[in-house]
Structure 1
Amino acid sequence: MSLGELARLGVATVYEASGRQGLVDEDFIRLIPGSAVAGPARIARCGPADNRTVHEVAARTRPGDVVVLTMDNPVPVALIGDLLATQLRAQGAAGVLVNGAVRDADTLRELGLPVWTRWVRVRGAGKTHRGTVDRPAIVGGTGIRPGDVVVMDGDGVVVVAADRVDAVLAASRARAAKEATARERYLAGGLSYDLHGFRAEDEGG
């Protein structure tokens, strides 16, 4: 199983191939243009406007993890900046999903760690509420459990349940192959209106 392949196949393909499940239905800013990642979720559920839990999750992050930073009621407070992101990169994180804000955005881009964030704000977080690490969370209406695979690219974010990854990867490969064949037909002048049978239905011919 290649999680990197899920990233290359992309959020739209994975979402459709999974039966339209797992969409994280929020607008996120992708800090590094062109970046795409997939990896198992390492989750920090932070207290209100507080990032103490991010320090704990940084100590538990393993290579390839997608670190999910969230609050039960997200507000535009910076859960992560340059120094915490540097730690996550050194720990080998594949990427970071921030259901909150980041700051030091220019430095984060230079660091090269792929980050998707709801907001960019300088307002700092508190450090008094421990929160929880590696417990299920809901982001954008979708449940994320530790070890579920988070896929992120320019289209947004989708989550694949850990026990469905192999099946969704296979379905995504099949969908990508089908789309490649369709693309060749369209380049040759074919039309989806005909290939899907819509013209025959609409015009009775």
Structure 2
Amino acid sequence: MSSDTITELARLGSATVYEAGGRRGYVDLDLHQIVPGSRAAGPARTVRCGQGDNLMVHAAMAALAPGDVLVLTMPEPAPVALVGDLLATQAQVRGAAAVLVDAAVRDVEELREMGLPIWARWVRVHGAAKDVSGALDVPVAVGGATIRPGDVLVLDADGVAVVEAERVDEVLAASQERERKEAVKRAKLQAGALSYELDGLRERVEGAAP
């Protein structure tokens, strides 16, 4: 997929992409957006670490390609820091678009100064071991959403939406159309119209007129 497609999905944002994509692929977690105001999109580079272990995060750095969204998981989510500033430095140098951590991160002030977009379930000082071999580029589950290698993630202040790789063009077109329709509707609302009327909601509340 083209860089223009990825840039446009990031601009449209997770909420628009999620809604336009049929409300599929929602990462249902209260995530820490480490860098306020950041947004990103890109194909997933998935990592399944050993429990409480980040050996595979180090291994993933050797496989990371520019533009990838690094997705870090364990068999069971736990508040163990899989990423700190040194691993984040490697990810940034290798061109990662973003990092999604279904565990913890630490060195948060340093991560914010770096500016690499990172979303994490927890912030904790508790560090990981480096003993257990896991797996790279395998399907993982994060917040109820299945993420396969190459699926596209859209991340911003609202959260994370997952778009299956084979649906990217379809969802992009639907998201752009949704944006156009919302622009028309917004103009009407700014002119004084009510969604209660525009969306036919009055009838749901008050019933059809006799």
TM-score > 0.5, shorter chain as reference: yes
Q: Percent identity?
A: 59
Gaps of 5+ in 1: none
* 1:27-176 correspondence to structure 2 within 5 Å: 27-176=30-179
Which ranges of structure 2 fall in alignment gaps of 5 or more residues? none
* In 2, Cα distance between equivalents of 1:123 and 1:167: 42
Q: CA deviation at 1:200?
A: 4.4
Match of 1:38, SS state, is strand
- Once superposed, which parts of structure 1, at least 4 consecutive aligned residues long, lie more than 6 Å away? none
CA distance in 1, matches of 2:117, 2:202: 44
Aligned residue number for residue 204 of structure 1: 208
TM-score by length of 1: 0.98
Q: Distance in 2 between matches of 1:73 and 1:199?
A: 46
Alpha carbons of structure 1 residues 200 and 44: separation in structure 2 relative to 1, 3 Å: closer
Counterpart residue identity of residue 21, structure 2: S
Q: Which amino acid aligns with 2:19?
A: E
Q: 1:198, 1:80 → 2: CA distance?
A: 47
* Count, aligned residues: 205
Q: SS at 1:186's partner residue?
A: helix
Alignment RMSD: 1.0
SS of 2:101's equivalent in the other structure is strand
SS at 2:174 equivalent: helix
Paired residue secondary structure (1:21): coil
Q: Secondary structure at the match of 1:170?
A: helix
